[in-house]
């Protein structure tokens, strides 16, 4: 037992500390979390537009009108998710390094838009710029992340070199401040323009196409596969075992991949096309993270009365219904409890394999990509995430299997954990 704890402490604590203290990952994690209101807003409209059996209770004309009214909400939220993401990154980066928030936003937005391969259309002597909107959505998220961090870092370095135009004291402060940041901004934009030009000379034609085909698409395909997802969940549970917030640490690395998959599924769902991904942000939040609730149910059903397990089960129910695991995780406790480690890890792995299999074989629909609040109770969340009652039934099935796995361990706990 002590050897297991020693090995995990030796390897996991340093990794967890590095992830939690890494400024880049922290900024990215905070930016992703900040997208929740935007994605939920778009998802709410998408749920209404394609709610199950809505065509049975609403006339075709009324349904068409509803979709005409709500579709712009989906387009300007989920369809432009990369724009929101880079704004969030710029905000948190500026706060972290005590930079001007306003001018950091200017630099990041300009840098991102410079990289997009827009075209100029001339008709009847009038020119207009055509910006491909797909690069403002999920297809442009990796480019947005690169552009935001590269531009922020370069801009911060240039600013530290005092490359500024200083105006006399008589000039109003708002005007003087604008000129202070002018040269770093121009140099940053010039560098982004050179990057754009350089990629225009390659077979890819643009950095967007290069990153999407060479990095984003392969990474998302790999990161949303069964084996990488199982590995990610193993780390989540092992971090929890060491007293670290597993979802937060692993999510800092994996959430960009899962969010790209979610947005791609949402776009396909809105267009009536096949959903490309099984593992998405909703796959994890709705079907995998709530695995702890099977432990709560097992404690309620099988823990002896007047034992610590029974009391912890009762206390954990209200929070557990809203997917808050801390009461049972720290009350049982799970932390540094080697006896609990096996089912704690095994149940989540079984949830991943079970959910993936049901969706892979088409028994349960894949997540539609709609973002629902993570506190949505089980069964309801499964229904909303898949737009099907089968999602709720899958959650119930997983919880049942989880309870069976926990059962023998609960019986042993009954003999060892009696309240005096």
- For the stretch 143-173, pLDDT in tens is 999 999 999 999 999 988 877 666 666 666 7
* Burial label, 325 (beta-carbon count in 10 A; 0-12, 13-18, 19+): buried
Report the distance separating Cα 385 and Cα 226, nearest Å.
19
> What number of other Cβ atoms are within 10 A of residue 240's Cβ?
23
Q: Which helix (H) or strand (E) holds 418?
A: none
Max CA pair span of the chain: 89
Report the distance separating Cα 10 and Cα 259, nearest Å.
31
pLDDT at 400 over 70: yes
- Averaged over 114-136, what is the pLDDT? 77
Residues 6+ apart with CB under 8 A from 55: 63
Angle between helices 2-21 and 226-241 (to 10 degrees): 100
Report the distance separating Cα 85 and Cα 32, nearest Å.
7
> What number of other Cβ atoms are within 10 A of residue 415's Cβ?
9
Which value, in Å, is the radius of gyration of the alpha carbons in the chain? 25
Percent above pLDDT 70 for the chain: 89
pLDDT at residue 12, rounded to an integer: 58
Report the distance separating Cα 323 and Cα 188, nearest Å.
44
- Give how far Cα 260 sits from Cα of 218, 404, 412, Å: 12, 34, 43
Average pLDDT, the chain: 86
> What number of other Cβ atoms are within 10 A of residue 51's Cβ?
15
pLDDT at residue 409, rounded to an integer: 87
- Give how far Cα 281 sits from Cα of 93, 259, 361, Å: 24, 6, 20
* Burial label, 126 (beta-carbon count in 10 A; 0-12, 13-18, 19+): exposed
For residue 157, what are its two tokens? 């370095």
The secondary structure of residue 202, as a DSSP letter, is S
Residue among 245, 236, 256 at smallest CA distance from 348: 236
pLDDT at residue 51, rounded to an integer: 84
Residue among 385, 360, 361, 388 at smallest CA distance from 374: 385
Residue among 251, 260, 266, 268 at smallest CA distance from 218: 260
- Give how far Cα 80 sits from Cα of 139, 141, 252, Å: 10, 10, 21
Report the distance separating Cα 104 and Cα 173, nearest Å.
18
Q: What phi and psi, each to the nearest 5 degrees, are found at residue 126?
A: -110, 130
The secondary structure of residue 167, as a DSSP letter, is P
- The residue ranking higher by pLDDT, 195 or 122, is 195
For residue 102, what are its two tokens? 């306003």
Q: Which helix (H) or strand (E) holds 378?
A: none
Considering only 290-294, 341-345, 408-412, which range has the smallest mean pLDDT? Answer: 408-412
Residues in the chain, how many? 420
Report the distance separating Cα 395 and Cα 379, nearest Å.
6
pLDDT at residue 82, rounded to an integer: 92
Report the distance separating Cα 257 and Cα 244, nearest Å.
22
Residue-wise pLDDT tens digits, 306-364: 677 788 888 888 888 888 887 887 777 777 777 888 899 999 999 999 999 999 999 99
For residue 16, what are its two tokens? 């967890």
Residues 244, 222 contacting (CB under 8 angstroms): no
Report the distance separating Cα 171 and Cα 161, nearest Å.
23
pLDDT at 43 over 70: yes
Q: Which helix (H) or strand (E) holds 121?
A: strand 119-123
pLDDT at residue 332, rounded to an integer: 78
pLDDT at 135 over 60: yes
* Burial label, 150 (beta-carbon count in 10 A; 0-12, 13-18, 19+): middle
pLDDT at 420 over 60: no
Report the distance separating Cα 366 and Cα 355, nearest Å.
10
pLDDT at residue 149, rounded to an integer: 96
Q: How confident is the model at residue 418 (pLDDT cuts 50, 70, 90)?
A: very low
């Amino acid at each position: 037992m002590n050897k297991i704890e020693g090995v995990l402490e030796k390897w996991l604590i340093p990794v967890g500390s590095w992830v939690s203290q890494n400024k880049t990952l922290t900024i990215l994690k905070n930016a992703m979390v900040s997208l929740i209101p935007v994605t939920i807003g778009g998802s709410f409209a998408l749920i209404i537009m394609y709610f199950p059996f809505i065509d049975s209770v609403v006339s075709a004309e009324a349904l068409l009108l509803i979709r005409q009214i709500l579709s712009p909400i989906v387009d300007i939220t989920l369809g432009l998710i990369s724009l929101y993401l880079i704004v969030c990154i710029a905000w948190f980066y500026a706060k972290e390094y005590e930079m001007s928030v306003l001018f950091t936003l200017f630099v990041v937005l300009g840098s991102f838009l410079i990289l997009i391969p827009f075209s100029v259309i001339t008709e009847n002597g009038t020119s207009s710029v055509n910006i491909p909107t797909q690069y403002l959505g999920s297809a442009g998220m990796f480019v947005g992340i690169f552009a935001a961090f590269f531009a922020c870092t370069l801009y911060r370095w240039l600013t530290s070199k005092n490359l500024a135009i200083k105006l006399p004291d008589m000039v109003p402060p708002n005007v003087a401040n604008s000129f202070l940041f002018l040269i770093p901004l121009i140099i940053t934009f010039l560098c982004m323009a050179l990057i754009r030009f350089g990629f225009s000379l390659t077979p890819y034609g643009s950095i967007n196409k290069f990153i999407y085909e060479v990095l984003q698409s392969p990474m998302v395909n790999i990161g949303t596969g069964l084996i990488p997802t199982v590995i990610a969940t193993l780390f989540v549970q092992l971090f929890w075992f060491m007293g670290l917030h597993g979802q937060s640490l692993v999510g800092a690395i994996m959430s960009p991949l899962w969010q790209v998959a979610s947005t791609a599924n949402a776009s396909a769902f809105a267009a009536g096309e096949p959903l490309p991904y099984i593992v998405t942000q909703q796959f994890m939040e709705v079907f995998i993270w709530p695995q702890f609730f099977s432990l709560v149910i097992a404690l309620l059903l099988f823990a002896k009365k007047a034992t610590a397990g029974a009391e912890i089960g009762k206390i954990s129910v209200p929070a557990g219904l809203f997917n808050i695991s801390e009461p049972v995780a720290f009350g049982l406790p799970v932390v540094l409890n080697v006896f609990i480690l096996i089912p704690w890890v095994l149940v989540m792995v079984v949830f991943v394999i079970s959910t993936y299999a049901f969706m892979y074989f088409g028994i349960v629909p894949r997540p539609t990509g709609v973002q629902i609040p993570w506190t949505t109770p089980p069964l309801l969340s499964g229904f909303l995430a898949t737009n099907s009652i089968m999602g709720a039934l899958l959650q119930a099935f997983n919880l049942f299997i989880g309870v069976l796995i926990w059962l023998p361990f609960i019986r042993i706990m009954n003999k060892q954990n009696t309240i005096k």
